[in-house]
Amino acid sequence: MRELLRKCEMSATILAMRQPLPPPSTPLLALLRQLGTDERRTDFAVLAGTTTAYLYQLATCKRGACRSRLAKGISDASVEMHKRHGTAVITMDTLASMCPVDRG
């Protein structure tokens, strides 16, 4: 019985993994997905001067706005990744305005 339950749980997990992702909520999240592989996302993060984890925090609006130097790094890195892989380019203005402003 436990084995059957374990198999059912695994099947549910696999099925959940096959569900399509919701549309990206920000242009940065769209770019991270567009990069396609962890290796490309890591290259992007290194070029930008940060980590992949921090990029995801920014992309999902879990952090406030990033420093202007990092925004410039992300923008420049997106240009480089566009040249290498044909991905989208993110501007500093886009980074500054992609998340709702918390006025509370």
Q: Which of 46, 43, 23, 48 is nearest to 33 (CA)?
A: 23
Q: pLDDT tens, 61-83? A: 987 778 899 999 999 999 999 99
At a CB cut-off of 8 Å and minimum separation 6, what does 91 contact?
A: 75
Q: Where are the domains of the chain?
A: 27-98
Q: pTM, whole model, 2 decimals?
A: 0.76
> Is residue 103 very low, low, confident or very high in pLDDT (cuts 50, 70, 90)?
very low
At 101, is the secondary structure helix, strand, or coil?
Answer: coil
